[in-house]
């Protein structure tokens, strides 16, 4: 299964500048998902992180990883637009190498558990074959509050 940005925006509520996944390139239902983020010099965070030495903030790499996990959960359990995703935990986060303009991040997440609506993922981020970040993520869904 391949999803482009337009299809991802039908699933996730995130929008520019906070939509951090461009494409889903693999989905093994109930097991794993692979997503892509193309990092460009036009990313708004590069203005201040860091001038003259652009580095993608680690927290945004983790957020992008989590968005890929959100797509997995929404597609796997057919979660509707009346629900919103909440981070429930981040463990064992490690940042191995800096990510900068021109890099293509590949996120590989494996579902390690899903109990009572709590999704647990083991995630890794790569640029080429190099592991740049990894984390264990937990997320859940709750009804969206009426506005």
Indicate which residue of 14, 32, 49, 96 is catalytic: 49
Q: Does residue 49 have an active-site annotation?
A: yes
CATH fold for domain 5-143: Thiol Ester Dehydrase; Chain A (3.10.129)
pLDDT of residue 107: 98
* pLDDT per residue as tens digits for the range 37-52: 999 999 999 999 999 9
DSSP letter (8 states) at residue 40: -
* pLDDT per residue as tens digits for the range 63-111: 999 999 999 999 988 888 888 888 999 999 999 999 999 999 999 999 9
pTM of the model: 0.95
CA distance 114 to 7: 24
Sheet holding 104-115, edge to edge: 23-28, 32-38, 104-115, 118-127, 130-143, 83-95
């Amino acid at each position: 299964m391949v999803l482009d940005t337009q299809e991802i925006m039908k699933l996730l509520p995130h929008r520019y500048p906070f939509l951090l996944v461009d494409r889903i390139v693999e989905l093994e239902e109930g097991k794993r998902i692979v997503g892509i983020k193309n990092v460009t010099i036009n990313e708004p965070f590069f203005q201040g992180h860091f001038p003259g030495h652009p580095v993608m903030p680690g927290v945004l790499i983790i957020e992008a990883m989590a968005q890929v996990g959100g797509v997995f959960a929404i597609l796997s359990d057919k979660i509707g637009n009346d629900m919103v995703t909440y981070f429930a935990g981040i463990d064992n986060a490690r940042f191995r190498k800096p990510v900068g303009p021109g890099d293509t991040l590949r996120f590989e997440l494996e579902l390690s558990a899903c109990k009572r609506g709590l999704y647990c993922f083991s995630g890794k981020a790569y640029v080429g074959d190099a592991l740049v970040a990894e984390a264990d993520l937990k997320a859940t869904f709750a009804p969206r509050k009426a506005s």
